[in-house]
Amino acid sequence: MRNLFLPNEHVPSVFDIKPEVLKEKGVKGIITDLDNTLVAWNVKDATEEIIQWFGKMSDHGIQVTIASNNNENRVRLFSQPLDTRFIHSARKPLANAFRKAQKEMNLKKHEIVVIGDQLMTDVLGGNIAGFHTILVVPIVETDGFFTRFNRKIERRILNWMRRKGKISWERRND
C-alpha cells in the first residue's frame, strides 16, 4: 500500500525535467499539477521560466496537460495563455482525471509521466492510474487548508520511507 506513495523519481523542480531526457525514455506526454508544482499556489499567471519550459516541451513534441484539483476559473486562466489542455476539479488522487488526460493526448501509459508536488494527490493518483511519477519539491512552503493537512500525512509517509531505505533524498520541512 505505501509503495503507491513512492514516486519513480524526485527532482528539485520542473526545470530539472528536460525534454531531451524524456524523449530518450519514450515520453510523449506530461500530466502535471499546477499549484506549487508549476507556480506558487497564490501566483495567478505563468512565470517567464514556465512559459519557456512549456515551449521546450512543445518544441520536442511533448504534450502537456495540467490536472489540478483547483476550480475551473483558476486553472483556465493559467492554462489558456500557455495554449495547453487542462482538467480542473480533478479530484486527485482518483484516477479519472489521469485517464481523461491520457485519452485526450491519445498516448499509451508508458509514454506519459505525471509530475506533482504532493504524495497524497499527484504521486498516489499517478501510481494508481499506472503512470511513471515524478515528485518535485513544492515551490513555496505555504499551502491552502487541505494541503496543509495532506503535508502532515505526507511527512509521516516520507519519514517511514526513509527509515525503510526506500528513498534517500530530503524534502524541505521534514
For 9-48, what is each residue's pLDDT tens digit?
A: 999 999 999 999 999 999 999 999 999 999 988 889 999 9
- Looking at residue 120, its pLDDT comes to 86
Q: What is the largest CA-CA distance in the chain?
A: 43
Q: What mean pLDDT do residues 74-95 have?
A: 95
The CATH number of the domain covering residues in 2-141: 3.40.50.1000
Which residues does residue 35 pair with via DSSP β-bridges, in sequence order?
Answer: 39
174 has pLDDT over 50:
no
Q: What mean pLDDT do residues 44-70 have?
A: 96
Which residues does residue 116 pair with via DSSP β-bridges, in sequence order?
Answer: 135
Instruction: Say what percent of the chain tops pLDDT 90.
Output: 70
